[in-house]
Amino acid sequence: MTDLVTIRSIALTAAINPLGAELTHLRDAGGRELMTNADPAYWTGHAPILFPVVGLPFEETIRVDGTAYPMPKHGFARRSQFEIVAVEADRVTFALSDSEATRAAYPFAFRLELTYRLDGATLHVEARIVNPAETPLPASFGFHPAFAWPLPYGEDRAAHRIVFDADEPDALRTIAADGTIATARRDSPLDGRVLHLRDDLFTNDALVWDDVRSAGVTYGAGQGPQLRIAFPDTPMLGIWTKPGAAYVCVEPWHGIADPEGYAGEYRDKPGVFETPAGGETRIAMSVTLKG
């Protein structure tokens, strides 16, 4: 098993696995766990990094200049060993660069860096996608953190909710039976700006906002400490759990699963952005323990 890298502030401790550069634990000053318990009966993930796709490519394939390449759901970064570039008491940076193995699925040169930094009661996470090539680099990217539901402060699971920063009047995307994005939409389950969490919301997989207006949400019960999750750089948001599990995922995305039956070019699919030749793209999120 890969040793976790632990960083600390006065209010939080975070542990990150170099396998996938995945946040595995986030604990408060009292040692209470704010992340999933990773119960294998439901899901053993913690906070996978989604790159270079978000969600499921149709038939687990992408097409680049007419050539098909095998690509698993959520991409390969979450199963890749990252290099530890720099580590200090309150921060660590990991990096993944292209290799023969990555180019077999994604025929591009790239460098993906993930920096985790603690500042008081806030965990900052920044992804840096670097394009060393002389042509634009297409990619999608997403965060997938799974927070404890309920949070460890004695409030009932049924009292937990997610409050959006802004009104979100649009209908949501739906997940097709094969895991791609269906044509049909569903009405928003929000009560004003509030999502009252309950298991039956997730019977048919994730809730997907493909044009989210909010730059952040607040998660917790009506009383007690809460988590403020900010995502200023991502235009999409997924919220997901498996009914009965002790976690809820708040997933800022810059990308989305393929539409049903999609057989077009990877560059043209919804949610793909391009990093210019010799340039970089930065995508950040933060988690703040409040109260």
Q: Under DSSP, is residue 63 helix (H, G, I), strand (E, B) or coil?
A: strand
User: Which amino acid belongs to residue 227?
Assistant: L
Buried b (16+ CB within 10 A) or exposed e, 49-68: bbbbbbbbbbeeebbeeeee
Model pLDDT for residues 248-276, shown as the tens digit of each residue? 999 999 999 999 999 999 999 999 999 99
The pLDDT profile of the chain, 291 residues, written as one tens digit per residue, is: 579 999 999 999 999 999 999 999 999 999 999 999 999 999 999 999 999 999 999 999 999 999 999 999 999 999 999 999 999 999 999 999 999 999 999 999 999 999 999 999 999 999 999 999 999 999 999 999 999 999 999 999 999 999 999 999 999 999 999 999 999 999 999 999 999 999 999 999 999 999 999 999 999 998 899 999 999 999 999 999 999 999 999 999 999 999 999 999 999 999 999 999 999 999 999 999 998
User: What is the model's pLDDT at position 1?
Assistant: 52
Record the pTM: 0.97
Residue type, 73: K
For the chain, the distance separating the N- and C-terminal CA atoms, rounded to the nearest angstrom, is: 35
168, 209 contact by CB (below 8 A): yes
- Which residue type is seen at 43? W
Q: What is the pLDDT of residue 136?
A: 98
- Residue type, position 277, single letter: A
Multiple choice CATH, 5-290, 2.70.98.10, 2.40.30.160, 3.20.10.10, 2.40.50.90: 2.70.98.10
pLDDT tens per residue across span 176-221 = 999 999 999 999 999 999 999 999 999 999 999 999 999 999 999 9
Half-sphere exposure of 38 (CA within 13 A, CB side): 12
Tokens, residue 75:
């991409």
pLDDT of residue 238: 98
